[in-house]
Structure 1
Amino acid sequence: PLKGAMTNEVYQVRWLTGGGEEKGEGEYRKVLMRVYGEGVEVFFDREDEVRTFECMSRHGHGPRLLGRFPTGRVEEFIHARTLSAVDLRDPEIAAIIASKLREFHHLDMPGPKRVLMWDRLRNWLKTAKSVCPSDEAKEFRLDNLEKEINALESEFSGEDQCIGFCHNDLQYGNIMIDEETKALTIIDYEYASFNPIAFDISNHFCEMAADYHSEEPHILDYTKYPDLDERKRFVQTYLSSSGKHKPCH
């Protein structure tokens, strides 16, 4: 079993190849087996996620898809380490993330290019209202959230918003880095969809305040939120990264 996965159960599977099996010698082959978590359909559409993963795999982004079964899939095992919360504050790593994120946002994914965020928020709110006791619904101010969603959609749906293919969950556990080459891979596309790219960048900043290995992983420590200089440096690197990208204003 591999630690750190929150939505699925993830395993490293390995076996001997190329002889030497009887003596316990020889080379090992490794793959990653992902068993889908139960109940996650409340948060995202699993079929959409699988299609996204298959498309990313075909185009050389992220791990390669090696096989599927009804409750999960087998993926290429990436020989890299998962980032930690501290890594996100490292200027060198932050610059690599910024460049990689711009590349991700300009992926030409199939299907409609419409923003998914507002419908997703409303669906989550509807589900929350259906399962929350009245005292909890009042504590979380669920009755006010629809007004806030409507206000935010109105504010951030203008022509000045650049829409791209967003990861929507860019926390440190979903970013892997090869220590030797500094090649960075973004993994786990359960929430990926077209959205305003400003949301993806803002969400990544919020993830710097998270610690998913603490006893209260749902509580963010905003004293760790990046300061203005860190945010400006990240955005400047994002905007100046090379590549054949469509202009965004």
Structure 2
Amino acid sequence: MRVYGEGVEVFFDREDEVRTFECMSRHGHGPRLLGRFPTGRVEEFIHARTLSAVDLRDPEISAIIASKLREFHHLDMPGPKRVLMWDRLSLEKEINALESEFSGEDQCIGFCHNDLQYGNIMIDEETKALTIIDYEYASFNPIAFDIANHFCEMAADYHSEEPHVLDYTKYPDVDERKRFVQTYLTDFLELFVSHHCLIVPSVEGEEPDAEKIKDLMNNIEKYTLASHLVWGLWGIISEHVNDIDFDYMEYARQRLAQYWLKKPEILSCRVDDE
């Protein structure tokens, strides 16, 4: 039974979230919707465990996540298929500059989870089947942003004694990121149409093009900056609307500090330069 939290609607539209969940439920993705009431809903119980921070570094599990995320991005969800991430930010001058930096590039747009931390991924230990849960922040966005956000979440351990503390030495290295992207792109072709990308099945076993791997990795690294801004601002706002015992301001400070630290480096280099 899920009871909706108070104050969190400042981050997303509850009716949009409910429609997303109902659509996911009807099409067999995520838990089934069993019932609704004014302040919440009843969902199907999933016989699986939630991932831990350590699980994200397991190569086998990481590969399964990449495949599942690719499937998620391919979902044909209702609503306008336009990027929403910039609308959700409010540092106007900095956001406009960053959006302009990315606007000239061909981008694959997909239905993104936008909060793919380990607590929102469940795994069946026997079948290794993954289920992605909690769609409050889900919307159409560049797939590179969703993957970048997932990589950034590897710096967090929300079940430690200091859950707000981030360790960026745990951010995946080039080899880890490349394996993830290779798995993500395997068996799929990219079709660019007017700076949008539809992901369609290709011949089974086809290896992804090396240039596509490199381009997606470069875009992912750029979108880590957007991830830091999104969650930095989220932390600042959460300090005023959330009563959970979590140091939101310190979390926000770390995300924004990482943004300013990495921005010059990321915007001036490419993966193949590393």
Provide TM-score, normalisation by structure 2.
0.68
Q: Mind listing any 5+ residue stretches in structure 1 that lack a counterpart?
A: 1-32, 123-144
Query: Which one has the bigger strand percentage?
Result: 1
What is the Cα-based RMSD across aligned positions, in Å? 1.8
Aligned to 1:85: 53
Residue of 86, 89, 94 corresponding to 1:121: 89
SS at match of 1:78: coil
Residue of 48, 51, 64 corresponding to 1:96: 64
Aligned to 1:237: 183
Aligned to 1:167: 113
- Which structure 2 residues correspond to residues 29-48 of structure 1 after superposition, within 5 A? 33-48=1-16
> Against the structure 1 CA distance between its residues 75 and 191, is the aligned structure 2 distance closer, same or farther, given a 3 Å change threshold?
same
1:183-224 deviation digits (Å, cap 9, x = unpaired)? 100000000000010000000000000111134333321011
Question: In the aligned structure 1, how far is the partner of 2:176 from the partner of 2:57?
Answer: 8
Aligned to 2:29: 61
> Against the structure 1 CA distance between its residues 218 and 158, is the aligned structure 2 distance closer, same or farther, given a 3 Å change threshold?
farther
Aligned to 1:246: 200
Question: In the aligned structure 2, how far is the partner of 1:221 from the partner of 1:236?
Answer: 25
Aligned length: 195
SS at match of 1:156: helix
AA paired with 1:204? Answer: H
Question: What is the deviation of 1:114?
Answer: 1.0
Please say if 1:187 is aligned against 2:133: yes
SS at match of 1:194: strand
Question: What is the deviation of 1:242?
Answer: 5.7
1:77-128 deviation digits (Å, cap 9, x = unpaired)? 0000000000000000000000000000010001111111001112xxxxxx
Provide TM-score, normalisation by structure 1.
0.75
Question: In the aligned structure 2, how far is the partner of 1:204 from the partner of 1:59?
Answer: 24
Aligned to 2:242: none
Please say if 1:225 is aligned against 2:171: yes
Which structure would you say has the larger Rg? 1
Identity rate, percent: 93
AA paired with 1:98? Answer: A
Aligned to 1:146: 92
Question: In the aligned structure 2, how far is the partner of 1:103 from the partner of 1:171?
Answer: 17
AA paired with 1:89? Answer: R
Question: In the aligned structure 1, how far is the partner of 2:103 from the partner of 2:122?
Answer: 32
Aligned to 2:76: 108
Q: Mind listing any 5+ residue stretches in structure 2 that lack a counterpart?
A: 190-197, 202-207, 213-274
Aligned to 1:49: 17
